[in-house]
């Protein structure tokens, strides 16, 4: 198990705090694959957030890749501003967003109503608080 320094822990918490400022439960996180290794066992992924500026009403695109990789412990890709995600056999973009959701809301989140993506609803549970933060965010590929 890798040990983390106090500086790494501080950076991780700062990244999580910044991401919580940008994201709320129910928001959609978009992912882009820039590269897949020859073996297919890792890929370089980027994250994009599409928002609307509250003051101007203009669309804004955020690229929080440093914050995501720091919060989740991924290595930075050699080229571009993405990060390296290892593994295969599943939707790795969904994996990134699910893990990001869990990191941002480790103790769960308040149900956001009709647009709520929590797996509790699929299991017939009608809770207003979801104990798992993993489904707080939505995922889409770009």
Please tell me the predicted confidence (pLDDT) of residue 127: 73
Question: What is the extent of the structural domain holding 12?
Answer: 6-107+137-141
- Is residue 131 one of the residues assigned to a domain? no
Q: Which two tokens stand for residue 71?
A: 């919060």
Please tell me the predicted confidence (pLDDT) of residue 2: 63
Please tell me the predicted confidence (pLDDT) of residue 122: 73
- Is residue 113 one of the residues assigned to a domain? no
pTM exceeding 0.85: yes
- Is residue 81 one of the residues assigned to a domain? yes
Q: Which two tokens stand for residue 68?
A: 């995501």
Q: Which two tokens stand for residue 63?
A: 């690229």
- Is residue 35 one of the residues assigned to a domain? yes
CB 82 within 8 A of CB 44: yes
Please tell me the predicted confidence (pLDDT) of residue 136: 95
Please tell me the predicted confidence (pLDDT) of residue 42: 97
- Is residue 126 one of the residues assigned to a domain? no
- Is residue 115 one of the residues assigned to a domain? no
Please tell me the predicted confidence (pLDDT) of residue 110: 92
Q: Find all residues with CB under 8 Å of 61, minimum gap 6, and list them.
A: 48, 49, 50, 51
Distance (Å) of CA 99 to CA 39, 73, 93, 106: 23, 11, 10, 10
pLDDT tens, residue order, the chain (142 aa): 566 799 999 999 999 999 999 999 999 999 999 999 999 999 999 999 999 988 999 999 999 999 999 999 999 999 999 999 999 999 999 999 999 999 999 999 999 888 888 877 777 777 789 888 999 999 999 9
Please tell me the predicted confidence (pLDDT) of residue 128: 85
- Is residue 79 one of the residues assigned to a domain? yes
């Amino acid at each position: 198990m890798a040990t983390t320094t106090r500086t790494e822990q501080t950076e991780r918490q700062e990244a999580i705090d910044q991401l919580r400022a940008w994201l709320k439960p129910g928001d959609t996180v978009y992912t882009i694959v820039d590269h897949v290794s020859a073996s297919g066992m890792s890929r370089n992924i980027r994250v994009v957030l599409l928002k609307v500026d509250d003051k101007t009403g203009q669309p804004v695109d955020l690229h929080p890749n440093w914050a995501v990789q720091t919060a989740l412990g991924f290595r930075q890709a050699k080229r571009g501003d993405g990060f390296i995600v290892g593994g295969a056999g599943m939707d790795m973009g969904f994996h990134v967003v699910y893990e990001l959701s869990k990191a941002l809301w480790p103790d769960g989140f308040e149900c956001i109503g009709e647009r709520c993506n929590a797996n509790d609803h699929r299991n017939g549970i009608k809770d207003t608080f979801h104990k798992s933060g993993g489904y707080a965010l939505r995922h889409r590929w770009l």
